[in-house]
Amino acid sequence: MLMRTDPFRELDRIAQQLTGATGTWSRPSAMPMDAYREGEEYVIAFDLPGVAKEAIDIDVERNMLTVKAERRPVAKADDVQMELSERPLGVFSRQLVLADTLDTERISADYDAGVLTLRIPIAERAKPRKIAIGGTSGHRQISG
């Protein structure tokens, strides 16, 4: 149902962790996700802890799904001195190619506890169906 579009994404993620680099709009960081089928829909869950709902952008063009989010620094008072900062900031993005068997017109999105969950129904045309056999069932006799 889902095809990976960037085989080097995992290497980029590891390099960003080692260098401490943050994502930018031109070079966003990857966000972790799970994808699975649940009954008659496909579910994709993205981890986006600390991201405001308003900072998440979801687009679908044909069968390309793009999710972008930005985690901004928390505003601090002038007298605050940062002792430790390990939470990644910046822009996060994922692009997924969706199969033609998914109904991209009816995608739903929920955001709860830092997890963005997309539910994509399986298209009616992709569901199994019975095919009726037409024609007559009688045999034609040959006279001679």
Which pLDDT score, from 0 to 100, does residue 15 have? 61
Which pLDDT score, from 0 to 100, does residue 62 have? 87
Which pLDDT score, from 0 to 100, does residue 102 have? 93
Which pLDDT score, from 0 to 100, does residue 13 have? 57
Which pLDDT score, from 0 to 100, does residue 11 have? 65
**CA-based torsion, 76, 82, 86, 92: positive or negative:** positive
Between β-strands 64-71 and 56-61, what pairing exists: parallel, antiparallel or unpaired?
Answer: antiparallel
Which pLDDT score, from 0 to 100, does residue 64 have? 94
Average pLDDT across each block of 10 residues of the chain; the chain has 144 residues. List them in order: 58 58 62 93 94 95 93 80 78 91 94 97 78 72 59
d(CA 114, CA 77): 25
Which pLDDT score, from 0 to 100, does residue 128 have? 72
102: CB partners within 8 A, 6+ apart = 1, 42, 63, 120, 121, 122, 123, 126
Which pLDDT score, from 0 to 100, does residue 47 have? 94
pTM: 0.69
